[in-house]
Amino acid sequence: MNRSRFLEHVGWTGTGIAFTIGAAGSMSPMSAGAKPQSIGFVQISDSHIGFHQPANDDVAATLSETVDRINAMPVQPTFVVHTGDVTHLSKPAQFDDAKQILGRLRAPLVVMPGEHDVIGGTEAYFAAFGKAKGTGGWSSFDSDGVHFISLVNVFNFEKMGLLGTEQLDWLERDLRDRKRDTPIVVFGHVPLYALYPQWGWTTEDGAKALAYLARFDAVTVLNGHIHQVISHTEGTITFHTANATAYPQPAPGTADKPGPLVVPKDRLLKMLGYRSVKLISGETKVDESTLA
Ligand SMILES: [Fe+2]
Ligand SMILES: [Fe+2]
């Protein structure tokens, strides 16, 4: 798929809403047994626009700095994925501010909601970023021989970490006819495996999704929500959570509960950032960059 077609299918750009991933299933046929030469994209997460607390008194500035750094990359990523919690309280003004900053990205943006984006319902989020047709917001697309899947595992602020039967059935259909050597990359907000259930850092029915993914040779699952990098492997599935651009959270079990972690300003920038991902012949290479 060339860049302009890719943009047409998945890109949300600052010049207008063009997030038009189609009905269930992929947008373009995979060439049989295709291995990607090299595809690179960037993941950002948890920008919490509208957050005003001591853990970061200017989340717009740290997101803006992140965008500047990505725009300065000599080779632009195929796309930038934002894995949710774009806003802090789902307010229209917060979506507007976020879109203004993210709209400066030179690369197309793929975005999915976090629980902070669906407070009071999903309408404001979908009004801001559009909704994949024919689904509850989940979608998939192919680029350079890699199959990308974007999941929604937040339906309201309370029901975190749930995919639901409709989405799981869609996922099964989406994967059913794919060859096992197709590299798969899955995006979602809340971790799909039981990372730390005591703090709700899990997806209740995530194991069902992972069962559909387990037969593939190379699966990479990228999530946000926990505001820190934790990697984990189960069989052929590798998981990486991401740093936030807004504020850090404590490591699992090191505090009474999860939430914004106040650290000195110079340390804060070392704990915020983005991730570059390169897929080369089915191998996933991740490179963490911080704002320090
Ligand atoms: Fe978050
Ligand atoms: Fe979250």
Cα–Cα distances (Å) from 70 to 51, 233, 278, in that order, read 22, 28, 15
Highest mean pLDDT among 72-76, 139-143, 271-275: 271-275
- In single-letter form, the type of residue at position 47 comes to S
**Ligand 2 centroid to residue 281 C-alpha, Å:** 32
Q: Which amino acid is at 147?
A: H
Domains and CATH numbers, the chain: 3-14+38-290 (3.60.21.10)
End-to-end CA distance of the chain: 36
Q: How far does the centroid of ligand 1 lie from the alpha carbon of residue 259, in Å?
A: 9
Neighbours of ion ligand 2 (CB under 5 A): 85, 114-115, 225
- Please tell me the distance between residue 224's alpha carbon and the centre of ligand 1 in angstroms: 7
pLDDT at 27: 32
Residue 187 in 3-state DSSP? Answer: strand
Output the CA 227–ligand 1 centroid distance in Å. Answer: 6
1 pLDDT tier (thresholds 50, 70, 90): very low
Cα 134 to averaged position of ligand 2 atoms, centre (Å) = 25
Average pLDDT, the chain: 87
Name the percent of the chain lying above pLDDT 70. Answer: 86
pLDDT at 38: 58
Please tell me the number of the ligand nearest to residue 259's CA: 1
Across the range 48-66, mean pLDDT stands at 98
Quote the ligand 2 centre to 72 CA distance (angstroms). 28
Ligand closest to CA 200: 2
The pLDDT score that the predictor gives to residue 280 is 80
- The ligand that comes nearest to the alpha carbon of residue 249 is 1
Confidence check: pLDDT of 139 > 90: yes
Residue 283: burial class (beta carbons within 10 Å; 0-12, 13-18, 19+): exposed
Range with the lowest mean pLDDT among 19-23, 74-78, 116-120, 206-210? 19-23
84-88, 103-107, 130-134, 158-162: least confidently modelled range: 158-162
Q: Is 109 helix (H, G, I), strand (E, B) or coil?
A: strand
C-alpha span between 243 and 64 (Å, rounded) = 15
